[in-house]
Amino acid sequence: MIRTKDIWKRSITPEIESIWTREKINDVISNIKDKKHRAFLSLLYLTAGRISEVLEVKKLNITNFVSKGVVYLKTKMINEKNRNIKTKDVPFVEEDVLVKNILDYKKDLKYHQKLFDFSRVTGWRLLVKYTGLWPHSFRHFRLTELAVVYDFNEIDLMKLAGWSTPTMARIYVRKKVADIADKMGKLHKSG
């Protein structure tokens, strides 16, 4: 049985980090038979969101307006200290397999309906059931992917994750020496 207090004690080891690539995440999520669970994990990963944020998303928050192959999503972020609610826009590339999971699932919902009608603990349990990963691991993996693969800087990550300072970007992004070597190799080739 998964206890809520144990969920926050797990950390990402180098072994876990080397196994969980974007391809592996796509593969695991794509093989989930339940459409709702597949959409939930897709949205959780793509937004690098907290489970509580993803559970607040309604069908109307996913706009059908597509500009340059990007789908926009508006999520609510709740500041746990003073319970302020603000929104953030998250753009997605429409062709992404995880985006397709979300768009396919939302077709059957009513316009004002929340995408997911389960609790935060159920969300945690679904993540652990299908991936064996803990909630913040998804966030770490996605934000690291954006920084390393897509060259997001601290400002980009702050905007996406809803942070007010760059400090959290330094904590969440896990760059390896190999990532820095790749960047140096690209600089050398271009120069």
Q: What is the dihedral of CA 117, 82, 134, 104, to 10 degrees?
A: 40
pLDDT in tens, the chain (191 residues): 444 444 444 555 555 556 678 899 999 999 999 999 999 999 999 988 889 888 988 888 887 555 555 556 666 555 555 555 566 677 777 678 898 899 899 999 998 999 999 999 999 999 999 988 888 888 888 888 888 888 888 888 888 887 888 888 887 777 666 666 666 666 666 65
Please give the tally of structural domains in the chain: 1
Beta-strand ranges (E) seen in the chain are: 62-67, 70-78, 85-93
pLDDT for 79 equals 56
40 and 126 Cβ atoms separated by less than 8 Å: yes
For residue 50, give its domain range.
4-190
- Say which CATH number the domain at 28 has: 1.10.443.10
